[in-house]
């Protein structure tokens, strides 16, 4: 086995993006998923941030590079530049905030204009722990079904369904890459790294479990 293969730490590099209105909980979802933490204080994201998480799923070592975008309009030019390299995009709304749900339609438009056609979309209704919800499950599900997306209601606070949403996203992307290794290579050469590193050894880093968490809402 070549040195390069021996040193390979993952089978697939997956580039994910979180988008949605300001304050819907994108940063908290990422914090919950990557670090297992939650904070109730709100510090708005400036521009863009990212975290890396290594997991093992269905025998594949996956390196997830997860980009957390600012929901505020004034950062739109910066954040939209990151759509191009994304393989998976989470569209997040807040189940207690009707406007954030209405906005999903606009976020879809942003994806259509800026992301690759193959990008996997997953709709997330966050803050399902809150008793003051205004968007019920059926509306989120219908919107997702109508647009060919998977749908999860999550709570970053109570750790509900967060792992499931990320696991589903990872599985969908890996399945695409298995059937077409060039699926996301289109307009961004950086995404070439998504191709499976053939013969990668088993010395991958991290490896947090992909399953677990509490039952979905």
Site for ligand GTP, rule CB under 6 A: 22-28, 39-40, 42, 44-45, 70-72, 126-127, 129-130, 155-157
Nearer to ligand GTP, 127 or 176 (CB): 127
CB of 94 within 8 A of CB of 127? yes
Backbone angles phi, psi at 193, to 5 degrees: -65, -10
* CB of 126 vs ligand GTP, minimal distance in Å: 5
* CB of 165 vs ligand GTP, minimal distance in Å: 12
Return d(Cα 215, Cα 217) in angstroms, integer: 7
- Exposure of 69 in the CB half-sphere (CA atoms within 13 A): 26
Nearer to ligand GTP, 73 or 146 (CB): 73
CA dihedral over 137, 79, 113, 106, signed as positive or negative: positive
* CB of 90 vs ligand GTP, minimal distance in Å: 11
Nearer to ligand GTP, 2 or 132 (CB): 132
- The tokens for 214 are 């509490």
Nearer to ligand GTP, 90 or 184 (CB): 90
Return d(Cα 36, Cα 17) in angstroms, integer: 19
* CB of 92 vs ligand GTP, minimal distance in Å: 7
């Amino acid at each position: 086995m070549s040195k390069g293969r021996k040193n390979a730490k993952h089978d697939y590099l997956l580039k994910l993006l979180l988008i949605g209105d300001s304050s819907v909980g994108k940063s908290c979802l990422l914090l919950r998923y990557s670090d297992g933490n939650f904070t109730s204080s709100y510090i708005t994201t400036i521009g863009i941030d990212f975290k890396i998480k290594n997991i093992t799923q269905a025998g594949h070592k996956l390196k997830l590079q997860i980009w957390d975008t600012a929901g505020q309009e004034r950062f739109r030019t910066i954040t939209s530049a990151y759509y191009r390299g994304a393989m998976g995009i989470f569209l997040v709304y807040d189940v207690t905030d009707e406007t954030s749900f209405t906005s999903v339609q606009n976020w879809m438009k942003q994806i259509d204009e800026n992301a690759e056609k193959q990008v996997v979309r997953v709709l997330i209704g966050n803050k399902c722990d809150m008793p003051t919800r205004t968007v019920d499950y059926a509306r989120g599900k219908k919107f997702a079904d109508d647009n060919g997306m998977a749908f999860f209601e999550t709570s970053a606070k109570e750790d509900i369904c967060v792992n499931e949403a990320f696991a589903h996203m990872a599985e969908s992307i890996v399945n695409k890459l298995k059937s077409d290794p060039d699926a996301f290579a289109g307009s961004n050469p950086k995404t070439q790294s998504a191709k499976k590193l053939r013969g990668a050894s088993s010395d991958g880093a991290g490896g947090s479990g992909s399953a677990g968490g509490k039952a979905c809402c």
